[in-house]
């Protein structure tokens, strides 16, 4: 028993370092992508790394053109949130969550009342709106890196506990919460901010490519977060694929046999011992000497990243762990993009998810309304009659570059309108 | 060859917003239209009118 626990202590004490330090850059990138792809499947834009410090009203400056964003999103699986411009504090939570306990505006706007309910009280999200995520399956291999990796420590811990070279597993995001502000409220807030900061935003107005090709066309967006998803607890179950990863030489410990129903007392003691080791091994150095167990009750230390890992179940071929963050962390968000136009004006919102998933809702570049000239005024009533709409559509397809009828009527197409009047309205008579 | 979807239009005066929206909705792919107040020029309100094919919310 003692030698087994020593072995476990050795494994656990190095695994947090091993799992990250020995990973190549490619493997780390794959960790981010695989995790993000799983979250993305739930129609949520993933956050990587997980953070507590993201909330509705956060405004990011997005410099990458939309097409490049899509490429980056598909390649990496997530979008870096790097240029935080401001944090709006729009009021509206009280009205939006009317009757919801502990939801108010001002200093106690979400998530503060849940994060810090009192001077000495721990976070309490029990009153927050609940969300649920599906269970994700993944495979993990010690030799090939993590095929599906997650930014929680339970997977490498579990793999080492299994002493296996590879495993399949499931991850369940428990204790998930969400909160938001309606798009309408956010719209008012960001447009007011845009008006107040037009001088600042004007440096990001769109640029046209220069003839000498020394500069390319660029367009900037403000990405405004309007909903976030948080998770406090992650359950990870791993099932070993193969026989044991270690060789058969003398001194190599055998895999854990924690669940021995024939000897429940011994099983409970071993569970307690393993959890104590996990807690000690992952506690910050300054706290590692503090007592962690009182009798049979194990008190887990906070991890350096702000959570605890506890063993829930283990057999020779499977292991289940529960990782609990100190406070819920944001794993994903929904947002809207506002293009920055000339003179620092903010345009209409476009759903970030729609853009990234290639469901671009608005077609093409914004054109300037030039008024309804004389020909436009003749064409508008004409297309309401009989099959004239189809005639105009066919004419535009063949002779008008297939431009949209709305663009044709009030855009910079006076010449085309003149030709349509000549060809379709005046000529048949 | 199908016609291109309509483009967003800026500086649309209040008294012609309805006609611009009407023209955009001639394209059956357009399911939503966003109308955003832009500015008041010479006492006349101007709007950005943006057609959407996918639910923008």
Can you read off the two tokens belonging to residue A381?
Answer: 């009533």
Contact B7 A363 (CB under 8 A): yes
- Residue where one domain finishes, among candidates A316, A332, A348: A332
pLDDT (tens digit, 9 = 90+) per residue, A358-403?
Answer: 555 455 678 889 999 999 999 999 999 999 999 999 899 888 888 8
Identify the pLDDT of residue A218. Answer: 75
Across chain B, mean pLDDT equals 87
Residue to mutate among A180, A406, A409, A413, with most B CBs inside 10 A, is A406
Q: What is the number of alpha carbons within 13 Å of residue A354 lying toward its C-beta?
A: 16
Q: Is residue A233 classed as helix, strand or coil in its secondary structure? A: strand
Range name among A57-61, A88-92, A150-154, A298-302 with the lowest pLDDT average: A298-302
Average pLDDT over chain A reads 74
- Tell me the pLDDT band of A299, cut-offs 50, 70 and 90: very low
Residue A346, domain member (yes or no): no
The total number of structural domains in chain A stands at 2
Token code pair at residue A202: 């004007």
How many CB atoms neighbour CB A178 within 10 A? 18
Alpha carbon A121 to chain centroid, angstroms: 29
Given this model, what pLDDT does residue A221 score? 86
The residue that leads in pLDDT, A125 or A8, is A125
Judge whether residue A12 has pLDDT over 70.
Answer: no
For residue B46, the distance in angstroms to the closest alpha carbon of chain A comes to 10
* A164 CB neighbour count, 10 Å cutoff: 26
| Amino acid A305: pLDDT | 42
* Token pair recorded at residue A333: 């968000």
Identify whether B22 is part of a domain: yes
> Distance from A274 to chain B by nearest Cα, in Å?
48
**Domains contained in chain B, number:** 1
Which chain A residues have a beta carbon less than 8 Å from that of B50? Answer: 347-348, 362, 366
- Per-residue pLDDT tens for A194-220? 999 999 999 988 877 666 656 556 778
Q: Is the pLDDT of residue B46 over 80?
A: yes
Residues A300 and A406 in one domain: no
Identify the weakest region by mean pLDDT among A41-50, A104-113, A420-429.
A41-50
**B41 in a structural domain:** yes
Cross-sheet strand order for the sheet of B9-13: A367-368, B9-13, B44-52, B32-41
CA distance A417 to A396: 10
In degrees and rounded to multiples of 5, residue A303 shows phi and psi of -75, 165
User: Does B32 map to a domain?
Assistant: yes
Res A14: pLDDT: 39
d(CA A362, CA B1) in angstroms, rounded, equals 19
* Residue A393 neighbours by CB under 8 Å, 6+ apart: A405, B3
Closest residue to A406, CB basis, from B6, B11, B36:
B6
Q: Which two tokens stand for residue A384?
A: 């309401």
Q: Are A171 and A290 in the same domain?
A: yes
Contacts made by residues A13-21, CB under 8 angstroms, sequence distance 24+: A13/A281, A15/A156, A15/A157, A15/A160, A16/A153, A16/A156, A16/A281, A16/A282, A16/A304, A18/A156, A19/A153, A19/A156
Three-state DSSP class for residue A89: coil
**Higher pLDDT among residues A287 and A138, named by residue:** A138
As given in the structure block, the two tokens for residue A88 are: 């709006």
CB-CB neighbors (< 8 A) of B48 in chain A: 347-348, 366
Q: What distance in Å separates the CA atoms of residue A296 and residue A64, rounded to the nearest whole number?
A: 55
Task: Tell me the C-alpha distance between A32 and A27, whole Å.
Answer: 9
Chain A: residues touching B (Cβ < 8 Å): 183, 191, 336, 341, 345, 347-351, 354, 359-369, 371-372, 380, 383, 389, 393, 396-397, 402-407, 409-411
Is a pLDDT exceeding 60 seen at residue A13? no
Which pLDDT score, from 0 to 100, does residue A241 have? 74
Burial class (CB in 10 A: 0-12, 13-18, 19+), A104: middle
Checking if the pLDDT of A428 tops 70, the result is: no
Residue A20: its pLDDT value, please? 39
List the domain range (segments joined by +) for residue B28. Answer: 9-52
The model's confidence at residue A78, banded by pLDDT at 50, 70 and 90, is: low
Q: Within a domain: residue A365?
A: no
Residue A170 maps to a domain: yes
**In-domain check, residue A342:** no
Please check whether residues A327 and A379 belong to one and the same domain.
no
- On whether residue A362 sits in a domain, the answer given is no
Asked if residue B21 has pLDDT above 90, the reply is yes
Q: How confident is the model at residue A297 (pLDDT cuts 50, 70, 90)?
A: very low
In this predicted structure, the answer to whether residue A294 has a pLDDT above a threshold of 60 is no
Predicted pLDDT of residue A375: 94
A-B Cβ pairs (cutoff 8 Å, strict): 130
Q: Which residue of A has its CA nearest to B19?
A: A380
> Which range has the worst mean pLDDT, A27-36, A83-92, A172-181?
A27-36
DSSP run (H or E) holding A311: strand A307-314
* Residue B19 within a domain: yes
Cβ B4–A403 below 8 Å, yes or no?
Answer: yes
B41 contacts on A by Cβ (under 8 Å): none
**CA pair distance A125, A118, nearest whole angstrom:** 13
Average pLDDT over residues A54-61: 93
Residues A321 and A382 in one domain: no
CA distance A248 to A250: 7
Check residue A372 and give its pLDDT: 93
Q: Residue A119 belongs to what H/E stretch?
A: none
Show the domain range for A128.
2-332
pLDDT digits (tens, 9 = 90+) for A243-292: 444 333 334 444 555 555 566 677 677 777 777 776 766 555 444 333 33
The ipTM of this complex is: 0.94
């Amino acid at each position: 028993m003692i030698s087994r626990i020593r072995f476990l202590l050795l494994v656990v004490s190095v695994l947090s370092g091993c799992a990250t330090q020995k990973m190549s850059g490619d493997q780390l990138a794959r960790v981010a992508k695989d995790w993000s792809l799983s979250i993305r499947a739930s129609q949520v834009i993933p956050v990587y790394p997980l953070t507590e410090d993201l909330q509705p009203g956060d405004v990011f400056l997005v410099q990458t053109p939309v097409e490049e964003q899509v490429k980056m999103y598909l390649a990496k699986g997530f979008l870096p949130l790097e240029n935080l411009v401001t944090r709006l504090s729009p009021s509206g939570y009280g009205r939006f969550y009317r009757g919801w306990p502990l939801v108010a505006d001002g200093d106690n706007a979400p998530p503060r009342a849940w994060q810090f309910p009192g001077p000495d009280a721990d976070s309490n999200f029990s009153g927050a709106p609940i969300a649920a995520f599906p269970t994700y399956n993944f495979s993990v291999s010690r030799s090939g890196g993590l095929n599906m990796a997650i930014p929680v420590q339970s997977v490498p811990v579990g793999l080492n506990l299994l002493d296996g070279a590879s495993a399949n597993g499931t991850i369940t995001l428990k204790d998930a919460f969400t909160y938001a502000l309606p798009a309408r409220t956010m719209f008012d807030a960001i447009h007011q901010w845009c008006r107040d900061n037009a001088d600042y935003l004007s440096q990001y107005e769109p640029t046209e490519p220069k003839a000498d090709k020394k500069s390319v066309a660029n367009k900037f967006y403000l990405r405004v977060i309007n909903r976030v998803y948080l998770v406090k607890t992650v359950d990870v179950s791993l099932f070993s694929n193969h026989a044991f990863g270690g060789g058969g030489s003398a001194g190599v410990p055998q895999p854990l046999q924690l669940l021995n129903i024939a000897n429940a007392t011994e099983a409970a003691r071993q569970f307690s011992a393993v959890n104590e080791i996990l807690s000690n091994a992952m506690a910050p150095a300054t706290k590692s000497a503090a007592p962690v167990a009182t009798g049979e009750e194990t008190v887990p230390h906070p991890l350096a990243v702000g959570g605890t890992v506890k063993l829930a179940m283990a057999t020779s071929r499977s292991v289940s762990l529960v990782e609990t963050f100190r406070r819920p962390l944001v794993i994903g968000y929904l947002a809207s993009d506002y293009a920055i136009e000339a003179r620092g004006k903010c345009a209409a919102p476009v759903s970030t998810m729609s853009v990234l998933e290639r469901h671009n809702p608005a077609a093409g570049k914004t054109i300037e309304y030039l008024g309804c000239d004389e020909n436009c005024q003749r064409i508008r009533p004409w297309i309401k009659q009989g099959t004239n709409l189809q005639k105009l559509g066919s004419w535009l397809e063949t002779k008008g570059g297939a431009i949209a009828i709305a663009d044709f009527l009030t855009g910079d197409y006076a010449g085309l309108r003149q030709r349509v009047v000549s060809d379709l309205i005046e000529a048949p008579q | 060859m199908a016609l291109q979807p309509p483009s967003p239009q800026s500086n649309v005066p209040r008294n012609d917003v309805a006609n611009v929206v009407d023209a955009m909705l001639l394209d059956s792919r357009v399911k939503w239209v966003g109308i955003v107040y832009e500015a008041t020029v010479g006492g006349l309100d101007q709007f950005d009118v943006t057609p959407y094919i996918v639910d923008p919310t």
